[in-house]
A and B are shown apart, each in its own frame.
Chain A
Amino acid sequence: MNTTPDEANLALWLDDELEGAELAALEAWALSQPDHLAAREETRCWRLLIAGAIPHSEEPPFPDFFNSRIAQGIRDQMPTPVVHEKKAAFWKSWLMPMAACAGMVFAFWIGTMSETQSLAGRTAEIEIPVIPKAIPVQIVYTPESGVNAELFASDATSPMVIVLSGIAAIPDAMDFSATTYIPREREFDSTAGNGPLPTEETH
């Protein structure tokens, strides 16, 4: 048999991993191939050399299993703490809700008392005789900037006078002669007031 083997079988043969009929066929072929025989011998030498140089190590199987077993052994050797369950006092079952209810009632009572006191304080404040009641004060307001108004209040019988200052003069060219209604004397005299003249002036 002089058939040349394929590369894959040849590589397996060089590594001594070929078996069966394929190994026999390739051995028969290699008898006439001294180069390949020398190469296989060289490969075997290298394999032996490498196996001698690299230390053989082996990982332990399932390290987690062993670690968990070790931890369990440690726990088994430790003393187990004894839990003593204290039985709650019988009065705690009703004292706590009662205290909470009493607190809420007290807070509500404090609130009502403070409101009553504040109302009483307000009433007392209103009834202080020193505070004047509803003094009528005439308000004079000038929304236009630069305009001022001054109120001159006299006694009860004299007219009230408001003096405006800072207002623009009416142009002299403006003519009011076309006013439709010029009052007669007896009509506008009442406008200016016809009561008794004031006896004193207060500014």
Chain B
Amino acid sequence: MQAAHRALIRIAAVWLMLSASVSAQEDPGKAMLGEVNVTVYYATDGDPAAAGARAAEVSSDTQSRFRSQPQLGFKNYRAIGQDIQPVLRSYESWAQPLKPSDEILIKFEARSAPTPTLMLLDLELWLSRKKILKTDARLEGNRPLLILGPEWRGGRLIVAVALAQKEKSGSN
């Protein structure tokens, strides 16, 4: 009797999974419009080793680009996390660049149909599970949105939001 019950439960579970997968495939709202790259940098005038041993070096081009902005001028930069999430047609997406920590979260969704070089997003920055910033981002191929965020270990965190490039040049 119990074996029959287990068989029925398994059949029902398989049927639910199949129906869910079919409905997901049929949902046009889940069509991917592009990808967004969210990177968190640690910027400091002090010792960059405070970011931890696993923090990655930043190229000189990127450092120059940061220093070209007066608000982002620091002596040292380190990359401490990154997350790439798709932009869906009808659904919002969450980027969690410091996984598994949810200290910094970026929520975004498309505002309009994107072009190959331009994407308009409704974007929110969440810090410590609180919505801190809401803005409409205009992301272009080489024009990211840089947010100078909270202080941490004597420096500041910079959240960079940009369109993810499909093909990496690898020439930086």
Q: Which of B7-15, B17-25, B140-148 contacts A (4 or more CB under 8 A)?
A: B140-148
Kindly list chain B residues whose C-beta atoms are within 8 Å of the C-beta of A193.
65, 142-144, 162
Given the known A-B contacts A140-B135, A144-B131, A159-B146, are A191 and B59 also in contact in the complex, defined by CB atoms under 8 Å?
no
If A138-B136, A159-B145, A162-B145 touch, whether A175 touches B52 (CB-CB below 8 Å) is: yes
Asked if B56 and A182 sit within 8 Å, CB to CB, the answer is: yes
Known A176-B101, A201-B70; further 4 A-B contacts with Cβ < 8 A: A152-B71, A159-B69, A170-B103, A174-B152
Q: Please tell me if B47 contacts chain A, counting CB pairs below 8 Å.
A: no
What 3 pairs between A and B have smallest CB-CB spacing? A195-B142, A169-B151, A177-B52
Contact of A136 among B38, B80, B100, B138 (CB under 8 A): B138
User: Known contacts A138-B135, A193-B162; is A167 also within 8 Å of B64 by CB?
Assistant: no
Chain A positions 177-193 with a Cβ under 8 Å from a chain B Cβ: 177-193
Interface residues of B (CB under 8 A from A): 37-39, 41, 51-59, 61-62, 64-66, 68-72, 79-83, 97-101, 103, 125, 127-128, 130-138, 141-153, 157, 160-162, 164-165, 168-172
Q: How far is the CB of B132 from chain A (nearest CB, A)?
A: 5
Establish whether residues A177 and B144, one from each chain, have CB atoms under 8 Å apart when the complex forms.
no
Closest chain-A Cβ to B77's Cβ sits at a distance in Å of 9
Given the interface contacts A140-B133, A147-B132, A161-B72, does A191 sit within 8 Å of B82 by beta carbon? Answer: yes
In whole angstroms, what is the CA distance A160 to B149 when docked? 14
Q: Which residues of B are found within 8 Å of A149, using beta-carbon distances? A: 133, 135
Q: Please, how many residues of chain A have a CB less than 8 angstroms from a CB on the other chain?
A: 52
In the complex, which of the residues A142, A161, A185, A201 contacts B59, with contact meaning CB atoms closer than 8 Å? A185
Cα A143 to Cα B98 with chains together (Å): 23
Whether the Cβ atoms of B168 and A187 lie closer than 8 Å is: yes
Interface string of A128-156 (1 = CB under 8 A from B): 00000000101111111001010110101
B99 touches A162 (CB 8 A): no
B125 partner residues in chain A, CB cutoff 8 A: 164
Main secondary structure of the interface of A (DSSP, over half): loop
A149 to B161, CA, bound (A): 16
Q: Known interface pairs A167-B132, A192-B39. Does A176 touch B151 (Cβ–Cβ under 8 Å)?
A: no
Residues on A with C-beta less than 8 A from B171 are 186
How far is B51's CA from A174's CA once the two chains are assembled, in angstroms? Answer: 11
What is the CB-to-nearest-CB distance from A142 to chain B, in angstroms, rounded to a whole number?
6
Which residues of chain A have C-beta atoms less than 8 A from B71's C-beta? Answer: 152, 161, 163
Q: Give the nearest-CB partner of B83 in chain A.
A: A181
The answer to whether B82 and A198 touch across the interface, beta carbons within 8 angstroms, is no
Query: When A169-B152, A176-B98, A189-B59 are in contact, do A182 and B81 touch as well, CB less than 8 Å?
Result: yes
